[in-house]
């Protein structure tokens, strides 16, 4: 069974999790809206810029080890990198 959980500061995204801690996540957003297009732009940028993809992979591995039991801190620690790639993706 999935349970709803809040996405703080983001009323445009509905989120649901399964398990404790959550092992599965579902995010629901409006098709064509900013919350839909932003992650796609991020993904597409990494697909076409292998060095950025390697940097993101390395960062995630370091942070996963550092924040093994603190998912919120792990997610927060990735934010600056993600935002920088999103900004570059908008310029393409």
Give the DSSP letter string of 12-72: T-EEEEETTTTSEEEEE--TTSHHHHHHHHHHHHHHH-HHHHHHHHHHHHHHHHHTTT-HH
What number is the average pLDDT over the span 25-37?
A: 92
Computed over every residue of the chain, the mean pLDDT equals 93
Q: Which tens digits make up the pLDDT trace of 46-89?
A: 999 999 999 999 999 999 999 999 988 999 999 999 999 999 99
Return left, alpha or beta for 79; rule: phi > 0 is left, psi -120 to 50 is alpha, else beta: alpha
């Amino acid at each position: 069974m999935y349970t709803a959980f809040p996405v703080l500061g983001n009323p445009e995204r509905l989120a649901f999790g399964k398990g404790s801690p959550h092992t599965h996540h579902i995010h629901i957003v409006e098709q064509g809206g900013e919350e839909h297009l932003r992650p796609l732009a991020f993904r597409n940028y990494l697909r076409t810029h292998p060095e950025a993809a390697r940097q993101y992979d390395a960062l995630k591995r370091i942070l996963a080890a550092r924040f093994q039991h603190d998912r919120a801190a792990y997610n927060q620690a990735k934010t600056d990198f993600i935002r920088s790639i999103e900004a570059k993706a908008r310029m393409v």
